[in-house]
Structure 1
């Protein structure tokens, strides 16, 4: 009789444990589908918090299973203590740099020193921001390379940011003392205007042993064309100075040919054919950064539009309210599609 009661007690315990495992497994599977299974193409910045939530679900389910195990109270406390030690050890022995980059990523999201689409320079790297991750920030360089910079580097070192509101484009050159500086400054200002820069200004930055160093600058309103703008400025300087029969050469320039006093080292002017339309260099170099910037701008625009529609819907009635709700629904679906879009793919 006692053996039968003992068997019944064990069967009840085993059944309770089986139910606990099934329930815990169901909770974990359901949480995985809700948090991660439906979001396969989610960007890393939004996926990471869901992964943390999934780990917490697994942790709570593990603790729940320990609580229903048929063991003594002291053994149960020892198991929970062992679980705490394992978690503490995992955190303690995890990569310190990963934690540093994670904290730096949250700090960058709070301070927002730059946004997707901005040009930044940090240490020896220059490029356009194409992705903001929790552990690193991706930029696209002038050679179209994708460079992942750890967020800790961006926090510890100065970051030069060129915002979309406008940038200064400059060029530096040296000319001889025999040329009047007022004339040169006028010509350089003209060249900057021809290149498309606004409000050009010129500085004399050095009086060297053999030449005067000038810097010509101007405002570029469309920052996306920065590289092309620099090239056009250099081209305009060459055309303007050579058109005025002014030589541009190194102070150490030496020519062994016998030239007359009236001869200049200026190429002859030619009439070039009208060049065929070609894509701007920035469209090729910064393709991913440009696409990311466009999607980010569209997200912000949609979000602001949805908020305006929601405010209008509160005071609207009848048919007008139905139309506003339909517009809100369409905008929300488009916003969700943008957030779920895979990298490098426009929805």
Structure 2
């Protein structure tokens, strides 16, 4: 069997000749692309300087400079392709891009959504680079607002990457949006303590602490009547409103109040519980015919346990023939309880 390889060899020669002819176009296309890369760098620097001169935030300058740079590079790629492949005209190239635009849009929907959200965040400026924000379960300092996501540095030195669309569509608390911030701590005093005196003592204690603003002045409000204490809410303001200042100031306030209240005779009560039995009929319980402690009212006021015990002992003594005069020791052993009303 004889194989005819001349046609194959002719095909290979034509391909090599076409490649050799295309080498100048490839070199020129690479040169054009390098030129566009340099132009992209210059455009990026120009946009950054323009944003700084107009007083725009650093995040806006950074993102828009990146967008301009990518646009220039994209145009450079298209021009380089038309140089390398002369038969590829701009009309056919944009036509191909238009046909595949729908598929690209669906494939990169999340990227485009985050890109638009990042631009809107930079334009509306709900927060800026350097602000301390809370988003969901994450809290930290905004390090960078990129095209796709925002970089958040937590207080325990971790990096959290949050998509821009999530930040733009969900609730975000900006702790450093205003120059001052109000904090509050809760302190409990006993029910027998004087609330007005405790309030005055706390305010006098806060007056001499560093880091607290006196305008607006601190305040003390009765928050609730708790299970075992009267809870007071101590409010005060700090400046600057950063996390470090908030934690340190709360520590200082709590320590000062803890030392001042007991020294002045105020009680800082512990949690207590009272267990009541349904058959408890002590003398100090009062009138059992009235509903009390959630117990049902009784038609009669039963005697206390001490009275019932003395009556039982008296009955036993009577049965044994022992009178009160014969057993004075028994009366001394059983002290008389105050009679119920």
Question: What is the TM-score normalised by the length of structure 2?
Answer: 0.59
Is residue 213 of structure 1 aligned with residue 224 of structure 2?
A: no
Structure showing greater radius of gyration is: 2
SS at match of 1:223: coil
Shift of 1:81: 3.6
* Partner of residue 129 from structure 1, selected from 142, 146, 164: 142
1:183 aligns with 2:197: yes
Check if 1:201 corresponds to 2:200.
no
Distance 1:65 1:210 in 2: 84
Deviates more, 1:101-110 or 1:130-139: 130-139
Q: Are positions 1:62 and 2:81 aligned together?
A: yes
**2:250 matched to 1:230?**
yes
Alignment length (residue pairs): 237
> CA 1:27–1:252 in structure 2 vs 1: closer, same or farther (change >3 Å)?
farther
1:243 deviation in Å?
A: 2.7
Provide closer, same or farther for how the CA distance between residues 106 and 252 of structure 1 changes in structure 2, counting only shifts above 3 A. Answer: farther
Unaligned residue ranges in structure 1 (runs of 5+): 1-12, 255-347
8 Å CA contact 1:168, 1:218 repeated in 2: yes
Q: Measure the CA separation in 1 of the matches of 2:118 and 2:258.
A: 45
Rounded to whole Å, the distance in 2 between the matches of 1:243 and 1:63 is 86
- Name the CA distance, whole Å, in 2 between partners of 1:169 and 1:24: 63
Structure 2 distance, partners of 1:14, 1:128, is 55
Shift in CA distance, 77/54, structure 1 to aligned 2, threshold 3 Å: closer
Match of 1:120 among 111, 133, 138: 133
Match in the other structure for 2:99 = 85
| Alignment equivalent of 1:144, drawn from 134, 157, 170 | 157
Q: Deviations over 1:138-168 (max 9, x none)?
A: 2332322222222222212222212351111
From 19, 23, 35, the equivalent of 2:40 is: 35
Counterpart of 1:24? 29
- SS of corresponding position for 1:51: helix
Name the structure 2 match of 1:291. Answer: none
**Separation in 1, partners of 2:260, 2:141:** 31
CA gap 1:16/1:151 in 2 versus in 1, 3 angstroms? same
For the structure 1 residues 28 and 251, does the alpha-carbon distance in structure 2 shift closer, same or farther, using more than 3 Å as the test? same
TM-score, normalised by the number of residues in structure 1: 0.58
SS of the aligned residue for 2:218 comes to strand
Per-residue deviation, 1:57: 1.9
Indicate if the aligned counterparts of 1:192 and 1:217 stay in contact, CA closer than 8 A.
no
> Which 5+ residue runs of structure 2 have no aligned equivalent?
1-17, 49-58, 275-341
